[in-house]
Structure 1
Amino acid sequence: MFVTDEYALSAPPADVDAVVLELRDRAEILDALYRFGLGQDLKDRELFASAFAADAELDFRPAASRWGGRPSPMFGRDTIVTTVLTMFAGQVDTTHQVTNPRVVVDGDTAHLTALVEAQHLLTADHGTFALLKNPYDVELIRDGGRWVIRRMRIDNAWYTGDPVAFFGV
């Protein structure tokens, strides 16, 4: 699951133009994951949607299985955005922090792994919360000058708190 390449960049150090292009790609790839997290936290439909390809897939089953949840995978940007934001709206406040990102770029596709810490609190009662540490496995595609998520699989390393805070149910 994790990107474990020995080097951060594949471009030869002496090829400054290639290094700059690869660094730009990597920044845009990470930004797709940041848009995913911040879009949820702000309940910003446009920002959240900008993280995904039209035919995106989001699979939260591996993480949810840790506490007995059995959500279906979500297919398509519109379905993902509507499902996630409707589920949280007025019910769950979230914050997401991304750490340990690793990226491999292959032309117009990329693979990203990262650890994401997600804090979920019931909007009506911040005393009911859950804190999760989730490994993310993400496939991305180039969409013009930016990168978007084509497939995202979210696993769970650990969590603490009340699972009711994950989805406000």
Structure 2
Amino acid sequence: MYVTHDRALTAPAHDAAATVAELRDRAEITDALHRFGLGQDLKDKELFASAFAADAELDFRPAASKWGAEPPLMSGRDTIVTTILAMFTGRVDTTHQITNTRITVDGDTARLTALVEAQHLLIADPATHALLKNPYDVDLVRDGDRWVIRRLRIDNSWYTGEPTVIFG
């Protein structure tokens, strides 16, 4: 499920071109997750959408089950973007911090794991919040010279606050 290799790079140390190509891929892979987080935080539809493949899936069910919610699996970039931004825009401020990224690349597909801390505050009542610490399991595909998320599974390690108020 998670990337647990004992090193970051797989390109041979003596092959500079392969190393540079792998480092570029890793930067673009990480950037896809950063576009996901910042796109939500800024409520920037284009930036948020740029993180996803057209046939993407977002599975928030493992995280939501920790507080008894049962959201649907979201399928398709347009559905994901419309659903999440409609749920938050004008109602919830978010900040996402992404750490502990681990990546494995296999040709035109990649796998990323990360730990994401997501703070959600009600705009009308900032004292009402939910702070989530979520492990992410992400499958990505190459899209030209960048990478996009094909499947994102979000689990939850712990939370504070009131996620039922934030997420419904």
After TM superposition, is the score higher than 0.5?
yes
Given that residues 92 and 165 in structure 1 are in contact (C-alpha distance below 8 angstroms), is that contact kept between their aligned partners in structure 2?
A: no
- Determine helix, strand or coil for the equivalent of 2:126: strand
**DSSP-derived class of the 1:126 partner:** coil
- The answer to whether the 8 Å contact 2:67/2:164 transfers is no
Alpha-carbon separation, structure 1, partners of 2:164 and 2:90: 14
Residue 23 (structure 1) aligned with residue 23 (structure 2): yes
Cα distance in 2, alignment partners of residues 63 and 90 from structure 1 = 23
Q: Is the 8 A contact 2:69 2:164 kept in 1?
A: no
The 2-side partners of 1:164 and 1:157 are apart by 16
TM-score (norm 2): 0.98
Deviation at 1:165, TM superposition (A): 4.3
Taking structure 1 as the reference length, the TM-score comes to 0.98
Aligned pairs for 1:40-119 (under 5 A) are 40-119=40-119
- Aligned-partner Cα distance in 1 for 2:166–2:23: 35
Residue correspondences, number: 168
Cα offsets for 1:10-52 (capped at 9, x unmatched): 0001100000000000000000000000000000000000000
- Per the TM alignment, residue 94 of structure 1 is displaced from its structure 2 partner at its CA by 0.2
Alignment partner of 1:127: what SS? coil
Q: 1:40 to 1:165 in 2, by over 3 A?
A: farther
Aligned to 2:33: 33
Shift of 1:163: 1.6
* Structure 1 unaligned spans of 5+: none
d(CA) in 2 for partners of 1:166 and 1:156? 15
Give the drift of 1:164. Answer: 3.3
| Correspondence list, 1:144-163, <5 A | 144-163=144-163
Q: Quick one: which amino acid aligns to residue 33 of structure 1?
A: L
Q: Once the 2 structures are TM-superposed, how far is the Cα of residue 2 of structure 1 from its aligned partner?
A: 1.6
Secondary structure of residue in 1 paired with 2:5: coil
Q: Deviations over 1:75-114 (max 9, x none)?
A: 0000000000000011110000000000000000000000
Superposition misfits of 4+ residues, deviation over 6 angstroms: none
**Cα displacement (A) at 1:7:** 1.0
